[in-house]
Structure 1
Amino acid sequence: MAALALCAGATLSPAWAGLGMTRLPASGDDGPVTVFYPSDAAERPVWAGWQPVPLATDAPPAAGNGRLVVLSHGSGGTPWVHLDLARRLTEAGFVVALPQHRGDHAGDPGTPGPESWSRRPGEVRRAIDAVLADGRWPGLDARRVGLWGLSAGGHTALELAGGRWSPARFAEHCRQHIAEDFAACVGLYAELTGGPLDGLKRWLAPRALDSRFGSDTTWRHERDERIAAVVAVVPLAADFDPASLQRPAVPLGLVNAAQDRWLLPAWHGLRVLQGCTGCEDLATLPDGGHGAMLSPPPPVGGLAGRLLADPPGFDRAATVPAVEQRTVAFFQRHLLR
């Protein structure tokens, strides 16, 4: 397990005063891109999702460090569950962009899974294009972009780090391991409760997935040469060809949560870490769950709330800021050179 202290020798940038925020408009089939950036302007409370947040909305940007980091949200996600990480990155001088992934965000959760996973790398690429083309950040280095992704966003991160996957491998994984990895295969559509219908759910789910995805053996493998460092957090990874992630194309950091009940680490993030030569274990949280790095955590109930809830014993106040600082240091090491 990686220690949570900052790596010795990491160079931290001076903090900028405020968290600037703007939104680049939707274009074509792509949704809007939320952009956070260093600003010297005063922050004012802005209603963000479910709470007021101090932001300098549409304020002039400060110079920053000339680097862009893209954050890829998980299924059903929003920008507001990544505010704390965005603030830490902008305090270090980074510009931070969050594309809205079509069919897999809070306002439109209609096509999660392989349909969304196939679209996401292109959405990340076009978000980079949009930020670089906007005149407000003229000094950004297009050759050294960072990417951070969580859950389904972690799947996106792994593909853009050099991995390849196919819908058929996802269906095959669920045929073989539906009992152990039910939540990863079915998501929020159903839950194993220990009741008399569990056997039927385990029988139906892999057959439905195989019917929908089992014949699609086409490898998905998209790279964007501008992306020079990647962090994958509790990623969905069981459908990747392990050999494709043995030696990633760029520096790859991983964050795993040992108590993750949505994506069991043994089939997903830890499997990648254990098979990878040179990957960095930024953190393996012994008491963390799937929602550990959602910060601030969303106020959700039902099955999603149960899968995202912090397990007993998880010290969020101490753990999350330390992992965020390690993430900032990772991008500083690999992008600021």
Structure 2
Amino acid sequence: MDRDTKTLFTGSMEFRVEDPELGISFPVLVQYPTETPAVPTAFGPYMMDVSSDADLSVGEFPLVVISHGNGGSHLLYRTISTHLSKNGYIVAMPEHYGNNRNNNELENTRANLINRPKHVSMTIDGILSSERFGKSVRADRIAVIGHSMGGYTALALAGGVPWTKEGERVETPTDSRLRAIVLMAPGAGWFLNSLRKVTIPILLFAAEHDPITPGWNSDIVLNGVPDRSQVLFRTASNAGHFSFLSPFPPALKNRNFPPSVDPDGFDREEFHRKLPAEILKFLDEKLT
């Protein structure tokens, strides 16, 4: 993708997506290119360099949706989202209803397997139909990034057919608008022998030391898609499952808080100086 000569920063705003069928709504944080200089801004305990509610830069931009992990937060991938947005992407980060840090009542339920991909598609709908972003999105240039259960979400949207542990098929929505997906330590165990319809390019990251989604999850993807050459596979050396989360502020780093902990000797800050750039390079290549 050709970069404009103007300097771009990260704009930020939040909206809510309504699911009338369930009678619920969920928040979506959107980051986007702006020419308004960013300033350090607090989002709960996290700081991001953004320009809140700034004007969107003039142009047309690809759209990326980031799907967080089980019991996680849409704020945990801010190193990736801010890097993409200041490099010409509109990035939407939904907080998955019933499977987030504040409300995890749908964990390990069939409803969660259905809602996650459904709500990502609804997020895309919301961006494309919005007065603020709709005319600036390249509707033919859409991708999803997913970590852990977010990886499940991306695979389901891309055409994967999930099955429960009891061997029951789960009917989930797919989204033909996706042109690429990025999987970080994905939860792929629902897709044994059921990824034959996943034909779009994939950037797949595995963590060397991951007891939550160990290496066989990546093998399911590599061996399950019809064209393995469509998968760019990377193993993050010495990384753990949570190493794909943006570094936590010092006050939240605690051995009793596993998402903040990495294997001994792993430098998460250094890793996140490289990871967003690799994701950007892949998306630039596949969304052009």
- TM-score (norm. length: structure 2): 0.88
Q: What runs of 5+ residues in structure 2 fail to find an aligned partner?
A: none
Give the whole-Å Cα distance in 1 for the aligned partners of 2:87 and 2:59. 8
Aligned-residue offset at 1:218:
2.5
Structure with max Cα Rg: 1
Of 133, 145, 149, which residue of structure 1 is paired with 2:146?
A: 149
Task: Give the 3-state SS of the residue equivalent to 2:137 in structure 1.
Answer: coil
Match of 2:35 in 1: 40
Aligned-residue offset at 1:222:
2.6
Task: Give the 3-state SS of the residue equivalent to 1:110 in structure 2.
Answer: coil
CA 1:302–1:116 in structure 2 vs 1: closer, same or farther (change >3 Å)? Answer: farther
Count of paired positions = 277
Structure with bigger helix share is: 1
Asked if structure 1 preserves the Cα contact closer than 8 Å seen for 2:192 and 2:224, the reply is no
Match of 1:237 in 2: 188
Give the whole-Å Cα distance in 2 for the aligned partners of 1:123 and 1:56. 26
State percent identity of aligned pairs: 28
Aligned-residue offset at 1:57:
0.8
Structure with bigger strand share is: 2
1:160 aligns with 2:111: no
Q: What runs of 5+ residues in structure 1 fail to find an aligned partner?
A: 1-10, 172-213
Aligned-residue offset at 1:76:
1.9
1:331 aligns with 2:283: yes
Aligned-residue offset at 1:127:
0.2
Task: Give the 3-state SS of the residue equivalent to 2:238 in structure 1.
Answer: coil
**Of 147-156 and 21-30, the range deviating more from structure 2:** 21-30
Q: Which amino acid aligns with 1:134?
A: S
The superposition leaves residues 54-82 of structure 1 with CA deviations (integer Å, 9 ceiling, x where unpaired) of 22111111135421001011112222211
RMSD, aligned α-carbons: 2.2
Give the whole-Å Cα distance in 1 for the aligned partners of 2:136 and 2:46. 33
Of 11, 15, 19, which residue of structure 2 is paired with 1:20?
A: 11
- TM-score (norm. length: structure 1): 0.76
Give the whole-Å Cα distance in 2 for the aligned partners of 1:308 and 1:247. 36
Q: Which amino acid aligns with 2:15?
A: L
Match of 1:98 in 2: 93
Asked if structure 2 preserves the Cα contact closer than 8 Å seen for 1:233 and 1:255, the reply is yes
Higher relative contact order (CA 8 A, sep 6+): 1
Moved runs in structure 1, 4+ residues, more than 4 A?
300-303
Matches within 5 A, 1:215-226: 217-226=168-177
The superposition leaves residues 208-255 of structure 1 with CA deviations (integer Å, 9 ceiling, x where unpaired) of xxxxxx3x712334311111111111011112132x325623112211
**Of 42-51 and 230-239, the range deviating more from structure 2:** 42-51
1:316 aligns with 2:268: yes
Give the whole-Å Cα distance in 2 for the aligned partners of 1:252 and 1:13. 23
Match of 1:70 in 2: 65
Q: Which amino acid aligns with 2:154?
A: A
Match of 2:179 in 1: 228
Give the whole-Å Cα distance in 1 for the aligned partners of 2:253 and 2:25. 26
Match of 1:286 in 2: 237
CA 1:317–1:12 in structure 2 vs 1: closer, same or farther (change >3 Å)? Answer: farther
1:120 aligns with 2:116: yes
Q: Which amino acid aligns with 1:223?
A: T
Aligned-residue offset at 1:125:
0.6
Match of 1:210 in 2: none
Asked if structure 1 preserves the Cα contact closer than 8 Å seen for 2:8 and 2:87, the reply is no
